A and B are shown apart, each in its own frame.
Chain A
Amino acid sequence: DTAVSQTPKYLVTQMGNDKSIKCEQNLGHDTMYWYKQDSKKFLKIMFSYNNKELIINETVPNRFSPKSPDKAHLNLHINSLELGDSAVYFCASSHNSGQMNTEAFFGQGTRLTVV
């Protein structure tokens, strides 16, 4: 049973294309995230959703549009892909209870290569 699963694992596409990455968690968590990991391994938060509502948008270009149809899913759509979008994108989820946070569980990552 995979706790946080994202698809596809690899994505190679040309500049200017539009692509989507899907994420699903079966942990019953109320909060989901997208992180971008660049070639230097730096993990940078992009978006945070709580109960389907956008909580955090870390000044990500509006070419990136997350969508959460329900609290178990958080998809990421990227328009007009650029070379600099090449990275590994991780979906994650956690449980937030009031002011207490818990560990984040990560998906296996999607390696996006824009050529």
Chain B
Amino acid sequence: GENVEQHPSTLSVQEGDSAVIKCTYSDSASNYFPWYKQELGKRPQLIIDIRSNVGEKKDQRIAVTLNKTAKHFSLHITETQPEDSAVYFCAANTGGFKTIFGAGTRLFVKA
């Protein structure tokens, strides 16, 4: 079955710096890759997603890249702000009824 690995587990950056979170997946049939942000005590919420027919997608300070050959995808946050502090999850889906999540990255943005 699908397996998603996510690194790092914890990331601490200074406000204004960039943050990069990386994920790998095992099932080459995966075609949908969402990223979720979970603030303390809240529900996970989608921040950006990418499909397998696209290599890169950007939304303001957030971008995601996908390398299908290497089965890697990454989240890039530029000009980080304290409110970006949260747990971020990558996920992969093969188009079926199961989205597999990475283990999460706890991002701390220091003011």
Q: How far is it, in angstroms, between the C-alpha of A90 and the C-alpha of B89 when the chains are bound?
A: 15
Residues of B within 8 A of A42 (CB): 101, 103-104
Partner-contacting stretch, out of A12-20, A61-69, A105-113: A105-113
Chain A contact patch, size range:
20 to 34
- Closest chain B CB from A77 CB (angstroms): 21
Majority secondary structure, B binding face? strand
CB-nearest residue of chain A to B29: A99
A43 CB contact (under 8 Å) in B32, B49, B96, B101: B101
Find chain B residues with CB under 8 A from A106 CB: 43-45
B61 CB to nearest chain A CB (Å): 19
Is A48 in the interface zone, CB < 8 Å from B? yes
The answer to whether B98 touches A56, judged by C-beta atoms less than 8 angstroms apart, is yes
Interface size range of chain B in the complex: 20 to 34
Q: Quick check: B89 and A48 within 8 Å, CB to CB?
A: no
- CB B106 to nearest CB in A, in angstroms, measures 8
How far is it, in angstroms, between the C-alpha of A37 and the C-alpha of B32 when the chains are bound? 22
Given contacts A45-B100, A102-B32, 12 further A-B contacts (CB under 8 A): A40-B103, A41-B87, A43-B44, A43-B89, A43-B101, A43-B104, A45-B99, A56-B97, A58-B98, A99-B95, A104-B46, A107-B43
Please report A residues at the B interface, Cβ cutoff 8 Å: 31, 33, 35, 40-45, 48, 50, 55-56, 58, 90, 94, 96, 98-104, 106-109
